[in-house]
Structures are given as C-alpha cells and as structure tokens.
A and B are shown apart, each in its own frame.
Chain A
Amino acid sequence: MSSSLQNKGNRLPASVVPFRRHEPGTQPEYLYPAYRATRRRAPSQPLIFLPHTLSEVTGPIFVHSDIHPNDNDLTVQHPGEPLGERIVVSGRVMDGDGRPVSNSLVEIWQANAAGRYAHAKDNHAAPLDPNFTGTGRTLTDANGFYRFVTIKPGAYPWRNHENAWRPAHIHFSLFGPAFVTRLVTQMYFPGDPLFAYDPILQSVPDERTRQRLISKFDLETTKPEWALSYRFNIVLRGREATLFEG
C-alpha cells in the first residue's frame, strides 16, 4: 500500500481547500411530505457530516469532444422544426464568490410545447412532436456563459395530488469543478400561476432563494422577429477562503 503513496509528491491533504456548506433553508430537505414520492425515498437517519478530502474536492472533467454540434439547439435536431414557441435560454454559471465556472458541462431536458416528454413512461394524453426530443448539452465558455435554443415547454399533470400540475420547467444538470459541486435543478418561467401549487418548487424553504429558480424574461437578448429570451444564472458552491485570498 505504502509504495504507491510515497511518490505523491506535493499532493498532500493540506492542499485540499474545502467547499462552503449551504446556509440553512436554502436547499430542500429530503423529506417533504407534500411531494409524495419523498416519503418512501428520503433517508430517515441524519446524514454523517463529511469533512472534505481529495475525494470530495476533485471531480470529472468534460471536454468539447463530449458535445456534438447541434447539442445546444434543440430546434434543429430533427428534419423539421418543432412546434411551439421558440426561445433562447442563456445565463452564466458562477461559484459562490461570483467567479465564472468555465468549461463546465450543462445538460438539459424538458417536455415539448404540449407538456409531453419524449419518454416511454410519459403517458400524458398530449401529442408527441416528431421534431422534438427535448435534450440539450453544452459547455460553459471561458466566462461561464452558456446558451440554448429550444421550445417553451408546456405544463403537465402528474398525479401527486388531486389535480396536480407541474409548472413549465426545464431540467438542468451541472457538475462544476468537484464531486461536491454537482447540482441538478429545474428552471421555471416568470409569472407562472402554478408556482403556489407545486410542492417541488415549494420544497425550497427560503422564499428568496426559491425565487432563484425562476428565470427572468430578457428583452435584451431576445432576437427580433425570431425568438424571445430568458436568462437563468446558476450559482454553484464556492470554496472556503484560503490564506492566499486574504
């Protein structure tokens, strides 16, 4: 065992800069009974606090060869154009200190304009669109910016409770620089009347932080005669201050 450890040079645990912990109320708890599926899936024991080691502060790296040319334009992945309202969704991925998270994988998936996923298990009685899969993938640029072209997704029913409907949303998956910066979330659209009735959005206790999940209509990046635009900035965890940062 020791022979492989002896030549690790300066890769010592002292160089591990931990990531900051979340403030109370800014993330959902596992158990949120109004979201029924949490009841049989949320852990019942308290989590074990894990001080960060090399295993937590490192993480997978994705490169441009992981991305295909049309992966960030969900409207050109089929022979015809999908039905619905074409939109641009763009934003910036930053860490908790406002620094850009560059060259980082962003994956999205969503329902079509009618509120139906191109997924074998979605049996909502709304039409599928042969020209829309609803899958996108991109890397953030050097300044942390990403951009997708897509179709505004529809709301859909989901049987969580009597007359339950999900507000329109796009699923976002991000990695950031470390195992502990992994984030999967959902982006909503401003002014949706379903917000108050949606236990998934409401599971975020802190009202102000919850609002962070709602994108902003962005006239500035709207493309005239072509597509409206929404901006969705994402913040991943930042590192604890080090001596070097003063």
Chain B
Amino acid sequence: MDLTPTPSQTVGPYLHLGLTDTGSVPCIAGKGVKGERVWLTFRVLDGDSVPVPDAMIELWQADSEGNYKGTEGHGNSTVDGSFRGFGRMPTAEDGSCSFETVKPGPVPGPGDTIQAPHINVSIMARGLLKRLSTRAYFAGEPGNASDPVLALIPENRRPTLLAQPDPTRAGGWIFEVRLCGEGETVFFDV
C-alpha cells in the first residue's frame, strides 16, 4: 500500500461554503477564561499590496499558562474547559479578519529553551496550492529576544512576525500578512 501523504490542493474561491459559513470560530477563549484578553486582527495582502478578500486564517495557540488544549495528559491540567485554542475566520473585502482570545503564555521549546508567547497561523486561499504557515508574536514581549524560533530567522525579517499594538483599541493587535514581494512575511516549512 502506498502511504505517501495525499497532496494538497487549493481551497479555491468558494471555501466559505465548506469552512466558514457555518464553521467560523472568531472567539478562541470564551468569557471567563483567565488571561490577558486580546483582539487580534489579521490583514492579508498579495504581491501587489492588494487586500486578499478570499483567504481563510486558522489559529492554534496555548492558553495563558502556556498549555495546549489536549496536552493535559502531559502534565499540568490547567486548560480551561471553554478554551479551545482554535480559531478560524475568512478575510473580508479589505483582506482582514479579527479574533478574540487571551494572550498565550510561554511554551517549552527544544532543549532548555522557552518559546515566547506566539500564535500558530495557517493561511489558505485561492492561488495557494498548499497552506502557508507562520507565527504571530507580540511586539515588545521580553521573551522574543531568546525565542528559539525567531532565532532561526534573519534579523531583518523577524519584524514580519510581530503583531503590533492597535492604536485605536486597548488590547488590540494587528498582524499583517504579506504573501510575497516587498516586506514578505516569513513563512515556515513545518
């Protein structure tokens, strides 16, 4: 039996039908989940800096103590019941979508390292034959300097992974995704 993994294909322009019309998850952490509440807005731009109106963003994150849902068996079982860790939204005509969540805590990294608070991001869209994977870190976070994953990235491209505070909203953060060209976001081979 051939067990080569099945190839990826694009989600195409009508992804909403199967994935977001009834399957959107804009709130990753329900009311009462402890932690610093944040509103994270993504904006996706293509190689001409034109907003991408038909993308989908999926997020996966640890809770405020750095525990991923489903890993309770691995140790401390503190993940709140109404914390799912997963979010999913389609981009609007202006290329943006927003999530409500709590800021994730630091997560263990390889060796004795500690990963700074980050949210794992998948981007899918028409024109993407396979998903793009990146991470949203938080600008100004002291742990960023010793994060083992940021350390893999040429210094001049690291800022592309930093969400910036939203000047118009307390607790708001903005993460811009540039798919290609000038200021291209760092994407990971995962």
State the A residues within 8 Å of B (CB).
1, 4-5, 7-13, 15-16, 21-23, 26-30, 32, 35, 37-45, 47-56, 58-61, 94, 96-98, 107-109, 117-119, 121-122, 133-137, 171, 173, 179-180, 182-186, 200-201, 203-204, 208-210, 212-213, 234-238
Residue numbers in B under 8 Å from A40 (CB-CB)? 46-48, 50, 127, 179-180
Task: List which B134-189 residues lie within 8 A (CB) of chain A.
Answer: 135, 142-143, 148-149, 152-153, 157, 179-181, 184-189
**With the chains together, A30 CA to B115 CA distance in Å?**
28
Task: List which B65-82 residues lie within 8 A (CB) of chain A.
Answer: 65-71, 74-76
Distance (whole angstroms) from the CB of B132 to the closest CB of chain A: 7
Q: Known: A58-B68, A107-B18, A109-B18. Is A47-B188 also a contact (CB below 8 A)?
A: yes
CB pair A13–B118 under 8 Å, yes or no, is no
Task: List which B14-73 residues lie within 8 A (CB) of chain A.
Answer: 14-19, 21-23, 46-48, 50, 52, 54, 58, 60, 62, 65-71
**With the chains together, A185 CA to B15 CA distance in Å?**
11
CB pair B110–A184 under 8 Å, yes or no, is no
Residue numbers in A under 8 Å from B120 (CB-CB)? 55-56, 179
CB pair B71–A213 under 8 Å, yes or no, is no
Which residue of chain B has its CB nearest to the CB of A121? Answer: B13
Q: How many A-B contacts at CB < 8 Å in the complex?
A: 262
CB pair B3–A41 under 8 Å, yes or no, is no
Tell me what chain A mostly uses at the interface: helix, strand, loop, or mixed. loop
Residue numbers in B under 8 Å from A97 (CB-CB)? 3
Residue numbers in A under 8 Å from B128 (CB-CB)? 30, 38, 41-42
Q: How large is the interface on B (under 10, 10 to 19, 20 to 34, 35 or more residues)?
A: 35 or more
Distance (whole angstroms) from the CB of A24 to the closest CB of chain B: 11
CB pair B7–A210 under 8 Å, yes or no, is yes
Distance (whole angstroms) from the CB of B84 to the closest CB of chain A: 7
Distance (whole angstroms) from the CB of A226 to the closest CB of chain B: 25
Q: Known: A60-B85, A108-B18. Is A12-B4 also a contact (CB below 8 A)?
A: no
Known contacts A53-B110, A183-B6, A234-B6; can you find 8 more A-B pairs with CB under 8 A?
A8-B76, A16-B110, A38-B127, A40-B127, A50-B149, A54-B62, A55-B135, A171-B9
CB pair A213–B188 under 8 Å, yes or no, is no
Q: Is B97 an interface residue (CB 8 A)?
A: no
Residue numbers in B under 8 Å from A94 (CB-CB)? 3
Point out the residue from A5, A27, A44, A98 that lies within 8 Å of B130, measured CB to CB: A27
Q: Known: A40-B46, A121-B13, A135-B22. Is A4-B106 also a contact (CB below 8 A)?
A: yes
Distance (whole angstroms) from the CB of B34 to the closest CB of chain A: 11
**With the chains together, A21 CA to B66 CA distance in Å?**
26
**With the chains together, A55 CA to B11 CA distance in Å?**
24
**With the chains together, A49 CA to B142 CA distance in Å?**
24
Distance (whole angstroms) from the CB of B111 to the closest CB of chain A: 7
Residue numbers in B under 8 Å from A213 (CB-CB)? 6-7, 9
CB pair A98–B3 under 8 Å, yes or no, is yes
CB pair B114–A1 under 8 Å, yes or no, is yes
Which residue of chain A has its CB nearest to the CB of B18? Answer: A109
Q: Known: A44-B181, A119-B14, A212-B6. Is A179-B60 also a contact (CB below 8 A)?
A: yes
**With the chains together, A140 CA to B85 CA distance in Å?**
21
Q: Known: A4-B105, A13-B108, A203-B129. Is A109-B17 also a contact (CB below 8 A)?
A: yes
Residue numbers in B under 8 Å from A107 (CB-CB)? 18-19, 23
Residue numbers in A under 8 Å from B126 (CB-CB)? 37, 41
Point out the residue from A52, A119, A185 that lies within 8 Å of B9, measured CB to CB: A185
Residue numbers in B under 8 Å from A1 (CB-CB)? 106, 114, 142-143
CB pair A61–B70 under 8 Å, yes or no, is yes
Residue numbers in A under 8 Å from B19 (CB-CB)? 107, 109, 173
CB pair B108–A26 under 8 Å, yes or no, is no
CB pair B131–A59 under 8 Å, yes or no, is no
Which residue of chain B has its CB nearest to the CB of A237? Answer: B5
What are the nearest 4 A-B pairs in CB distance? A109-B18, A37-B127, A11-B75, A9-B75
